[in-house]
A and B are shown apart, each in its own frame.
Chain A
Amino acid sequence: MTEFEPKIIAFVCNWCTYAGADLTGTSRIKYAQNVKIIRFPCTGRIDFMLLLKSFGEGADGIIVSGCHPNDCHYTSGNFHARRRWIMFRGLLDMLGIDVRRIQYSWVSAAEGSKWADIVNSTVNTIRELGPYTEYEKVAGYLEKEANQ
C-alpha cells in the first residue's frame, strides 16, 4: 500500500500569506507538494462554509492564513476572520471534524520560511490523523436513507 498523501487546501489572503508563499519560492525553500493554495483578497473574505465544502469534496486538512493582527491590508478583515474562526472552531466538534485538521495561522509577506514550516507541519499532522472519511460515511448513509 502506498503511503497516505493528504490533500490539503490552503485559503490565503493575497497581501500577506500569498506574498509570503511567493517569498518561500523566491528563497527556494522546499516543502511538501500536498498543499495547494487558493487566493482570496483577504481572510475576511473567506466564507467558512467553504471549509466545510472542502471537507465535503475530499480535503483531509485545511490551512487558513492571512496577515498578522494589525497588519491587514484592509484594516480589519483578519480580525473578522479570527472572530469567525473562534466561533467556527467551537462548532467543529459537533460536526465531527477534528479541530487539528484546520491550521489557522498568520504569515506575513516577509515570512517565507514560516510558510514552509506551516505547510510541512500541517502535512505531518494530517498524515498522523489519517484520511478524513467521516464526511463520506455520512454522505453514504444519507444516500442510503434517500434511496429507501
Chain B
Amino acid sequence: MSKIGVFICHCGENISATVDVARVAEAAGQIEGVAFSTDYKYMCSDPGQTMIKQAIKEKGLTGVVVGSCSPRMHEPTFRKACQEAGLNPFMCEMANLREHCSWVHDKSEATTQKAIDLVRTLVEKVKLNKPLYSIKVPVTKTALVIGGGIAGIQASLDIANAGHQVILVERDPSIGGHMSQLSETFPTLDCSQCILTPRMVEVAQHPNIKLMTYAELEKLEGSIGSFKATIRKKAKSIDEDLCNGCGTCTTKCPTKKIPSEFNTGLGMRTAIYVPFPQAVPNKPVIDKENCSYYQKGKCKVCEKVCPTGAIRFDQEDELVELEVGAVVIATGFDIMQPSGFPEYGYGKYKDVITGLQFERLASASGPTLGEIRRPSDGKIPEKIVFVACAGSRDPAKGIPYCSKICCMYTAKHAMLYQHKVHHGKSYIFYMDIRAAGKNYEEFVRRAIVEDEVNYIRGRVSKIYEENGKLIVKGVDTLSSAKPVEIEADMVVLASAAVANPGAEALAQKMHVSYDSYNFFSEAHPKLKPVETNTAGIFLAGACQAPKDIPETVSQASGAASKVIILFSKDELSRDPLIAVVNRSPAPVFSTCVGCFMCASACPYQAIGEELITNRQGKVIKKVAKVNPGLCQGCGTCVAFCRSKSIDIQGYSNEQMCAEVIALLNHE
C-alpha cells in the first residue's frame, strides 16, 4: 500500500493568489493512498524542505508529490531533499501548479479544480514509480570549444589553464573573430588587436590547447561527460607542418582582386591568403572558389614559389573523430547586411557603409591604414552621419530586439572620427542612448561634450545622392519634430547584430535550443545563463544574444568554470530514466519476440541483442537488450514495441496510462 505525501507550495503568492492551496491540499488528502497532505508558503525554502523530510521519516512515506513550480525548475531540489530523508529520489514527482496553472489562469473555481487534477495525476503516477539508481558515466576531461573569437579564446584559455585538454575549432582560417576586426574598443579606446593578439598567440602556444582552424563541427553524438564529435577539417591545400608562414605565396598569387572578408570588402586579398597579418595560425589557405588552378586547371604559381614545398593541391577534407566531455559554443554573431533598407541606399551608394566597415577604416591595420577615407573616391569625409538602430528595434524588419552594442560603438566611431579629422562634423541619429555599463555613460558624455558630436534624436527617412553628397533626411524629435537635412560625405549604419548564418544548422546538429532569431537559448534566463538545455553544452558570447566584449569575456569565463566543475569529478551520475527490456521467469524469460523494431527506431544505436540460453548452453531465445551507457531515454522504442516488452523507467506504460486515467476522471 502506497503512503504518498502531498506538499502544496504557495510560492509566496505566485500560486496562492489564484489557486485555493488549502483546498488543493485538502482534496489531495482524500485521494486513496495519500497518507499526508499539507500546504506551505515556500516549499523550496529550508523549512519547506525540512517539512518534507520530517514527513517522510515520521509517516514513513513511500512517495512524494510536490505541487509547486515547474519540475524543470525545482525537481532536483525536491528529489535531493527526499534522498536526504532516505527516500529514493525517483519516488518524488512534481505537479506544475505555477507555470501551467496559477500563472496562466485567473482566480476561479476552475483553476483550483485544475490544480487538484494535476496533483491527483501525479499522485497516481508516483504510486507506480519504482526506486531507481543513478547510472555512473566516466568523464572525458577534454573540452571542445566551437568558435575562436574572443569568447572561444577566453573559454579555451581558462579551461586549459585549469589543466584540462581543449580542442578549439574555428571555421575561418584564423582565430580572432570579430574582435580582431575592430579598431579601438569602448569605453577605454584601447586598440582591439593590441589586447587580443597576445591572447591569440597564447592559445596557439598553450600545451593544453589543440587548435583546429578552417574546420567545422560535422556531428555531435553522446551525452555529458562522453560526447563524440566529428570535425570536418576543410582542405587548406597546404601542408601545415612544412609551411613556415613566409608569405611568398600570398604576394606572388596572381588572383589579387578578391574582396577580403576580414576587411569587410573594403580591401582585396589573393586566392591563397592569410586573412590578416596577425592571424593565428599565420599560415595561408587556398580559397578554392577563387583559385585559378582549382577553377581553370592552371597556375600553380604558389607551388612554384613555395620554398618549403608545402602546397598540396590534392589535399581533401578530413573527418576527425574526437572524444570530449563538454562543449562550449562560442560561435558569435554577424552584422546584418542593411540591404533590406532601400531608404538608406546601402549597396547603392558606395559611401553608405556599415559600422563594421567603419571599424576597418578606422583600424591601423585596415585598408586605409587607419585614415578615415570614404570608399568611393578616397577623400576624407568632412561631414559624416551615423545612423543608430539601422535594423535593431524594428519589428517591421523582423528584429524587435536591441543590438546592445551599437549605441556605444557609434559614439566611439564618432569620437574616433573627430580625433582623426579635427575639422570634421559628425552627426548621430538615434532613438535612445543605451549606455548601461561601467563607464559607458561617461564615454557617451565625452563624445557629446568634448568631441562635439551632434546627437539628433530621430530617425532617418531617406538617404540619396546629389552632386556627390549624400543627402540624409531625418527628423529631430527633440526640437519640435523639425525635419533635418544633412549633406554628408559618408554615412555609417549601425546595422543590427544578428545570429550567425550557420547557427540554426549547428544548433540542430548539437540538439540545443535556439530562439526565433536563431540565437542559442540558455537553460534559464537568469540562473543558468551559460548552460543550454542539453547537459554538458555551454554557451559563451554573442551566439546567445548580442553582447559587448566585457560581457562576452565574463560569460566565456563562466562557461569555462562550468566545464572545469564538470571535469573536477572522475565520473558523473546520470538519470536512470532509460529503456529496459522486461525479464520474466522461465520458460518465458521475456515477452520480447526479437523483432528489433526498437533497434531500427533508436536514434542512439543503444539496442543490441541478447541470447538467452538454457542450462545446456543451447540458445532458446534472442531478445533485445538496451545498452544503458548509450540510451538517452527518449522512449521512441517504447511506442514502437509491438509486444510492449520494452519500457522506459520513470515514464512507463503503466505510469502514463495511470496519469491519463487520473487526469480525466474526477468527481
Contact = CB atoms under 8 A, between A and B. Distances in A.
Interface in A96-132: 108-111, 116
B421 to A, nearest CB: 45
A48 B114 CA distance: 24
B660 A50 contact: yes
A101 to B, nearest CB: 14
Nearest to A16: B513
A76 to B, nearest CB: 5
A139 to B, nearest CB: 14
A22 B100 contact: yes
A45 B651 contact: yes
Contacts of B332: none
A109 B533 contact: yes
B661 interface: yes
A57 B636 contact: no
Nearest to B511: A73
Contact of A7 (B516, B603, B653, B664): B664
A38 B104 CA distance: 17
B664 A110 contact: no
A37 B513 contact: no
Interface string B586-619: 0000000000000001011000000000000000
Given A36-B114, A72-B511, A109-B533, A77 B636 contact: yes
Contacts of B636: 42, 44-45, 74, 76-77, 80
Given A7-B664, A54-B660, A84-B639, A41 B99 contact: no
Contacts of A76: 603, 636
A84 B638 CA distance: 13
B640 A80 contact: yes
Contacts of B439: none
A148 interface: no
Contacts of B114: 33, 36
B665 A57 contact: yes
Interface string B88-128: 00000000101110011110101101100110010000000
B651 A33 contact: no
A54 B515 CA distance: 33
B639 A44 contact: yes
B303 to A, nearest CB: 42
Contacts of A22: 70, 72-73, 96, 99-100
B508 A73 contact: no
A144 interface: no
A21 to B, nearest CB: 6
A74 B473 CA distance: 53
Contacts of A29: 104
A147 B651 CA distance: 37
B100 to A, nearest CB: 6
Contacts of B665: 57-58
Interface string A53-96: 11001110000000000111111110011001000000000000
Contact of B121 (A38, A109, A111): A38
B634 A25 contact: no
A110 B638 contact: no
Contacts of B560: none
A12 to B, nearest CB: 10
A40 B656 contact: yes
A129 B596 CA distance: 41
B577 interface: yes
Contacts of A16: 513
A46 B639 contact: yes
Contacts of A116: 104
Contact of B638 (A7, A45, A70, A71): A45
Contacts of A37: 96, 100
Interface string B336-353: 000000000000000000
Contacts of A15: 513, 533
A22 B73 CA distance: 10
Given A38-B660, A80-B636, 7 more contacts: A25-B70, A33-B111, A36-B117, A42-B636, A70-B508, A71-B513, A108-B513
23 contacts: A16-B513, A21-B100, A23-B99, A24-B104, A25-B103, A26-B103, A31-B105, A33-B110, A40-B656, A41-B634, A41-B648, A42-B635, A44-B639, A45-B634, A45-B636, A53-B660, A57-B661, A71-B508, A72-B511, A73-B511, A74-B511, A74-B604, A110-B516
- Listed from nearest, the 7 A-B pairs whose CB atoms lie closest are A45-B635, A25-B99, A74-B634, A44-B636, A25-B103, A75-B603, A57-B664
Interface of A: 5, 7, 9, 14-16, 18-19, 21-26, 28-31, 33, 36-42, 44-48, 50, 53-54, 57-59, 70-77, 80-81, 84, 108-111, 116
